[in-house]
Amino acid sequence: MKPERELKVERVIDEMLPRAIRPTNAGIRISLDIYLSEDDKAGSDWASVVFLDPETRKQINAPVNSIPLDSLDAVKWWVGKLVEKAEPLMRTMRKQPRRPDPD
């Protein structure tokens, strides 16, 4: 992906991720749909990701609420970026504290 597109994707993740999270006992659940297509009439996008409201499971309404991805490498990059941004939220939002590791 081009650098300006990467910045746009990161901004969408930053805005939408907190709204798509439901805390669990051990961490968080992120509600989203991933659409894959072979031939998109609107352009050459290969996949798109849409964040969902965790309560209603409906698409979150925002000016930019989906992330178009044009290759498998872009999807891999996006998943890595999502996990990178979700990890600190998981640690602070989980319902129960982490149990100490047994020795």
User: Which 3 state secondary structure label does DSSP give 19?
Assistant: helix
pLDDT of residue 20: 95
Residue 75: band (very low, low, confident or very high) from pLDDT cuts 50, 70, 90: confident
Residues 77 and 7: beta-carbon distance below 8 Å: no
pTM of the full structure:
0.79
> Is residue 39, in this structure, part of any structural domain at all?
yes
Quick one: how far is CA 17 from the chain centroid? Answer: 6
> Is residue 99, in this structure, part of any structural domain at all?
no
Residue percentage of the chain with pLDDT more than 90: 43
Domain that holds residue 66: 3-93
> Is residue 102, in this structure, part of any structural domain at all?
no
Distance CA 69, CA 5 (A): 10
pLDDT of residue 44: 57
pLDDT in tens, 26-67: 999 999 998 887 765 656 567 888 999 999 999 997 777 788
Residue 16: band (very low, low, confident or very high) from pLDDT cuts 50, 70, 90: very high
> Is residue 38, in this structure, part of any structural domain at all?
yes
Which token pair is 11? 């901004």
Structural domain total, the chain: 1
Quick one: how far is CA 65 from the chain centroid? Answer: 11
> Rounded to whole angstroms, what are the CA distances from 3 to 13, 22, 86?
15, 30, 21
> Is residue 103, in this structure, part of any structural domain at all?
no
